[in-house]
Structure 1
């Protein structure tokens, strides 16, 4: 029995969708989908349907792409934005039996257990940018080297007054739930965005960091006894260690960022037993 993880499948891309549909079956294993599965609700619906057919249990956290306000092509699904869109995605996941950040945290039943599996939705607040700058200054600083996030146009804040406010509330809610867990039981923390600034290394767009997380979570791996932290977003697959905790970046990415000569199994990251 294994716990696998992958993120940034971007199934709106034909090559990625083809690889996903050719993926094998893992009837005894669990799968983490760590965000950026696709931009449209219909795509996510399809991904959930296919994933639960292949795995015993599926766990999902949202990426920024799922939260984009985009029309549903050839569908009567209404266009939803911001918090309302996130709630709709949670509802959709539950219809498929997929666990979300809003559900009770499951305990891993494999030989490595007990380990609590903790899906999170924390967003970002621009605090990974240069210290002392306002949000507007951070965005301008990033733009100086052509780092511009589509989120600024497509990820609605509704009904929150700012991205920072939404991120602060998500961190508060998640922190509250984590503090209620048994501190002696190890955790697998799952968030689309990295929990630490020092894990971000994107040579192709080094100034993309403002859209990559929040300093509020810098020490969560220590505070909450994390055995493993799973994230995506960067499209830079890697394993790092901090304070005895394993950090896994599990992105697939766009077609030019992975080898289409290899099947998707090659890109599933084994989280447990590990």
Structure 2
């Protein structure tokens, strides 16, 4: 089978919802949804209802938008929005309803066009370490604001019950590392999937470089080497690209907001074929 990936579908936009119909069926293949499918359970159902019949299997990892707890946007009006870890696990439950693979499931060994590979969907978040060495942790947000950069995560992404987003990130990284180490020294290469890029050099949007603060953690800088990756898949930056670092292919597979794709490429062309 072939493996495809796309991120940042942002189904809060009507044009992006309409674009789902233009994605061609690939009934023998798998599709990775690398975060920011949308912001509500309804958005996720729209994606799964549209894409599950077109692919053999879907794989999902969360982005920051799924984790936003915005009053009035969730599917049960009058009830407070789920926050933090509880919100993430509600999306995991929805994925299980549809048979969609998540970071909470076993990492499957799959045949990708004749090569066996271990697919590793991850949820790692960020910890504000993608910043210059001279900027202290306590000054990181002020440094970003001085560059005219703010992130809605500071208002909408709760780390509950963790003390902070950085603390949640640390816990997620430690748990994921333990699982990766538990795989042992198998020969099969890994396909690492995370919404946020694993390396700082990949997390600097040219127009807003200080947005890097919300783009990952230095803890994962060498994971592509340490954990035998053949490919690393991410989104978040809305800058689709393919780069090779240390012999490993890094695929940024964002679709993006309507203004970023309309008139530039067809929705089906946003699906990136992942090879190992």
* 1:214 is aligned to 2:211: no
* 1:224 is aligned to 2:218: no
Q: Distance in 2 between matches of 1:261 and 1:240?
A: 21
- Residue 107 of structure 1: how far off its partner (Å): 1.4
1:57-89: CA deviation from partner (whole Å, max 9, x where unpaired): 100000000000024558327420000000101
SS of residue paired to 1:65: coil
Q: Distance in 2 between matches of 1:202 and 1:75?
A: 33
Pairing 1:194-273 to 2, within 5 Å after superposition: 194-260=197-263, 262-272=265-275
Of 262-271 and 148-157, deviating more is: 262-271
Q: Distance in 2 between matches of 1:236 and 1:74?
A: 28
Q: Distance in 1 between matches of 2:228 and 2:253?
A: 21
> Hey, which bits of structure 1, 4+ residues long, moved more than 6 A?
none
* 1:191 is aligned to 2:194: yes
Uncovered stretches (5+) of structure 1, i.e. residues with no partner: none
The answer as to whether partners of 2:41 and 2:74 remain within 8 angstroms in 1 is: no
Q: How much is the aligned-residue C-alpha RMSD, in angstroms?
A: 1.5
Provide the TM-score with structure 2 as the length reference: 0.94
Pairing 1:1-274 to 2, within 5 Å after superposition: 1-71=1-71, 73=73, 75-76=75-76, 78=79, 79-183=81-185, 184-260=187-263, 262-272=265-275
Uncovered stretches (5+) of structure 2, i.e. residues with no partner: none
- Residue 232 of structure 1: how far off its partner (Å): 0.3
Q: Distance in 2 between matches of 1:163 and 1:74?
A: 22
SS of residue paired to 2:211: helix
The answer as to whether partners of 1:236 and 1:249 remain within 8 angstroms in 2 is: yes
The answer as to whether partners of 1:41 and 1:72 remain within 8 angstroms in 2 is: no
- Residue 241 of structure 1: how far off its partner (Å): 1.0
Provide the TM-score with structure 1 as the length reference: 0.95
The answer as to whether partners of 1:40 and 1:72 remain within 8 angstroms in 2 is: no
Of 70-79 and 253-262, deviating more is: 70-79
The number of residue pairs the alignment matches comes to 273
Q: Distance in 2 between matches of 1:73 and 1:209?
A: 27
The answer as to whether partners of 2:41 and 2:75 remain within 8 angstroms in 1 is: no
